[in-house]
Every structure is written in structure tokens, then in C-alpha cells.
Amino acid sequence: MKSIIKLFFIAIVFQNISCLAFDDTKLQEAQSYYQQGLNSKTLFQRKLNFNKALGLYLEIENIYGESSENLFESIGNNFYQVNEFAWAILYYHRVLSINPSNASVEQRLKLAQNKLGLPPTFEPNAMNRILSLNNIFPLSRRIVLLFFVTIISFIVCSIAIWFSGSFWKKLSAVMLGFEALLVVNLILTMYFSPLEGIIVNPTGLFQATDMNQPQITATPLVKGIKVKIIETQKEGNWLKILNPEGTVGFVPAGVVEII
């Protein structure tokens, strides 16, 4: 029985090692094709190499469920090189959702938006920006920050109980206030913030969940713009969205990719 259990765990470890090796091989191969694309002298070879690299990166994302900053950046760069600027914008936004301080990706995002003639991405107002802290820390880092702030607050409050100095009392009040701000921030982000998406195919903004319904705007929504997703309709086939101009309407779910 023990030997069977050992063989079972060995098989699991071997499988994981094999997957990691396969993943690393795919990454190296994709990076090689991307560099070949940059160095290609003909348009045909350039597109061929970039498309090969893109296919490998997307395969890694689909098989392993990878959602890393570097992978999203590489996919975005490949979409940019093959002139799929709306998809490049999508993946650049995904990078910034993980690391909002990535200045190089922010610059490439602006370049991709310029390629499509898009206006700057609309941002939340000043109060929402302060509460969300999105431009400083992504969600994962805010959760870690809350963990450490909670520990420090506990230590400081414990010291304030045993020592009557005003310094420790003031410091404990500051730490508890910061901890409360983080808790409110996480609640707002996780439960009340709408999803955001990128339009990847042009579409009309409809009054109701029916292609035969009148369109709200005179011109269709163009590729590459960021919209807020309010809710899903008709078993997920339609989305109720808010466009950059603040107009609410409905679009088919297939034209929007969630960031």
C-alpha cells in the first residue's frame, strides 16, 4: 500500500515537472519567434513569426490558465505587431490591472489607442481613485498590505494598552484608520466595482437586448474602447454597459472581452 502511495506522489511530481518544462519550452520558443519577427526583413516573414509567437503565448494562457504580468505583456506586444490593436489594448489593460505602475506598458497602451484614433481612456473621479488605490496597488498587493497592516496595528494597539504615552495612542489611531480605509477599499473593489471590458469588434449600442431594437448612439462603438459592464442579460448573451461618454445601453456579449 505504501509503495502505491509513493508511486502516486512520484507520478504527480513528475507530471508537474513535465508541465513546467513544457511551459518553459513553449515560452522560449515563443520568445524566439518574437525576436525573429523583429529581425525579419520581409513583411511576410514578420507576420509569420509574430503569429507563431502569438499562438504559443495564447496556448500557454489557455492550457495553464496563466495570468502573469509578463505573459500578458508579451501577448499584447504580439497583437500590436500584427496590427490587432484592440486586442493589444485589452492585454495592456490586463497588465496594468496587475501592475498599475508599469510605465512602459502604459506608454504602449497609448500608442495602440493612437493607432485606432481613440480618445484617452476615461478614469474614475478623484474620490474614487483615492478610495480604490488602483493607481498605487493592484488588488493582490492591497490584500497583502492589509494583512501586514493588521499585524502592525495589533502590535501597536497592544503597546498602547500597556504604555500610557500619547505617542502610542496616536499611532494606534492612525494604524486603525489606515486599516479601516483598506477594508472599505477592498469591499468596494470586490463587491461594488463594475467589471471593465474592451470592445474587440465594432457594435451598435442598443436600447434593449435585441439586434432589431433602435441604437442609442448615432455611431457604433469602435474597437479598442474601454467600457464598464453593469450586468448580463438573456443568459449571458447580452451585456448592459456604460460607454466612455456615460451612455448606458446593451451590446452582444461576444463583442466585449473582460479585462
> pLDDT tens digit string along 30-53?
999 999 999 998 999 999 999 999
Domain boundary among 138, 173, 192: 192
Domain boundary among 60, 91, 116: 116
Within-domain flag for 14: no
Which grid coordinates are listed for 165? Answer: 504615552
- Distances 109 to 67, 86, 239 between C-alpha atoms, Å: 18, 10, 25
Within-domain flag for 12: no
Q: Specify the number of domains making up the chain.
A: 3
pLDDT of 120 reads 65
Least reliable range by pLDDT among 8-17, 31-40, 105-114:
8-17
Which grid coordinates are listed for 131? Answer: 478610495
Q: Which amino acid is at 169?
A: K
Check whether 69 has a pLDDT greater than 80.
Answer: yes
Within-domain flag for 4: no
Within-domain flag for 5: no
Question: What integer best gives the mean pLDDT of the chain?
Answer: 83
pLDDT band at 121 (very low <50, low <70, confident <90, very high): low
User: Are residue 163 and residue 230 in the same domain, yes or no?
Assistant: no
Check whether 131 has a pLDDT greater than 60.
Answer: no
pLDDT band at 190 (very low <50, low <70, confident <90, very high): confident
User: Are residue 133 and residue 184 in the same domain, yes or no?
Assistant: yes
User: Are residue 178 and residue 236 in the same domain, yes or no?
Assistant: no
> pLDDT tens digit string along 135-155?
566 667 788 888 999 999 999
User: Are residue 208 and residue 244 in the same domain, yes or no?
Assistant: yes
- Distances 166 to 46, 153, 156, 175, 190 between C-alpha atoms, Å: 67, 16, 12, 14, 36
Would you say 112 and 73 are in contact if contact means Cβ atoms under 8 Å apart? no
pLDDT of 186 reads 82
> pLDDT tens digit string along 77-103?
999 999 999 999 999 999 988 888 889
CATH number of the CATH domain containing 218: 2.30.30.40
pLDDT band at 255 (very low <50, low <70, confident <90, very high): very high
- The burial of 70, by beta-carbon neighbours within 10 Å (0-12 exposed, 13-18 middle, 19 or more buried), is given as exposed
The whole domain housing 135 covers 126-192
pLDDT of 198 reads 96
Mean per-residue pLDDT, 204-214: 90
Within-domain flag for 6: no
pLDDT of 232 reads 86
Residues contacting residue 122 through CB under 8 Å, at least 6 positions apart: 226, 244
User: Are residue 142 and residue 84 in the same domain, yes or no?
Assistant: no
User: Are residue 83 and residue 109 in the same domain, yes or no?
Assistant: yes
- The burial of 191, by beta-carbon neighbours within 10 Å (0-12 exposed, 13-18 middle, 19 or more buried), is given as exposed
pLDDT band at 124 (very low <50, low <70, confident <90, very high): low
